[in-house]
Amino acid sequence: MLGIDSSGAAVGRGNLRNNIAYTGTLTSNMTGTSSAYNSWDLGVTLSDSQFRSVSTSGWDAPRQADGSLPTLPHLRLAANSTLIDKGTDVGLPYTGRAPDLGAFERPGDTPAGQRYEAETAPAVCQGTIDANWAGFSGSGFCNGNNAAGAYAQFTANASAAGTATLGIRFANGAGGARAATLVVNGSTAATVSFESTGAWTTWATQTVTVPLNAGGNTIRLDPTTTAGLPNIDYLDLGTIAG
């Protein structure tokens, strides 16, 4: 942390503990700073695989329903990260034999559920992102083309391999059900029937349990008839069960 001494010279100030510096300039203006138990002090090897996600997309996700910041996988430690338990006690809560390096502590850093909005990259909508029917989450929803194969796709991050319950929020104001194949990482996982919700402003959630890999997973809703998909609002990823 850069400060100014009594002569006006720039000097390092403060105490640095349990921090991670990854890519770019690791440290600068450190003279006078107390630095220990940081990634650069310990000489630990850093790589993308140490983290659940290093993507820069999705950081502008909407706040949660209670107004709190979204819980995201970005820069949270992977289950096998060597940064776990490498820190030192600074008076903050931690689990394990020592604090983890970085801003997030494991275990307990895996959110009870993660939400992926259909209008937010890297989600794909083979149709248009619309906002003309009330009741949706975020800034819009996927209004897929009325065609077989006009899919909606999400990329979801799992902290570990296992099974998870997906909650797919949709609205189907048409008279009949709309069917889709649920394709996870290129393999058919289930067939989903999106029943009529009675109106395009009435939203419902269809749940299904699927196997996921550790890390990124592609989850595709592939309609099987020319009616296409219902309007798709978001996908909720539940807790991973090993």
3-state secondary structure of 132: coil
Q: How far is CA 232 from the centre of its chain?
A: 18
| Whole-angstrom distance, CA of residue 213 vs CA of residue 240 | 10
Report the pLDDT value the prediction gives residue 147, as an integer from 0 to 100: 97
pLDDT band at 222 (very low <50, low <70, confident <90, very high): very high
Going from the N-terminus, what domains does the chain have, and what CATH number goes with each?
A: 1-109 (no CATH), 114-237 (2.60.120.260)
Give the per-residue pLDDT at 111: 41
Q: Which of the two residues, 17 and 109, has the higher pLDDT score? A: 17
**For the segment 58-91, what is each residue's pLDDT rounded down to a tens digit?**
777 788 777 777 777 888 888 778 898 888 888 7
| Sign of the dihedral through C-alpha 107, 157, 58, 54 | positive
- Report, in this order, helix, strand and coil percent for the chain, each rounded to 5: 5, 35, 60
Residue 176 CA: distances (Å) to CA of 111, 199, 225 = 35, 12, 12
pLDDT in tens, 134-151: 988 888 999 999 999 999
Residue 208 pLDDT exceeds 60: yes
Kindly report which listed range (74-83, 105-114, 126-135, 192-201) carries the lowest average pLDDT score: 105-114
Q: What's the N-to-C CA distance of the chain in angstroms? A: 42
More confident position, 207 or 79: 207
Q: Which has more pLDDT, 22 or 9?
A: 22
Q: What percent of the chain is modeled with pLDDT above 70?
A: 90
Residue 13, SS3?
coil
How many Cβ atoms sit within 10 Å of the Cβ of residue 142? 29
What pLDDT score was predicted for residue 1?
Answer: 58
CA distance 84 to 168: 33
Report the largest interatomic distance among the alpha carbons of the chain, rounded to a whole angstrom.
Answer: 78
Dihedral angle over CA of 42, 45, 48, 54, nearest 10: 20
* Residues 229/178, Cβ–Cβ less than 8 Å: yes
Whether the per-residue pLDDT at 110 is higher than 50: the answer is: no
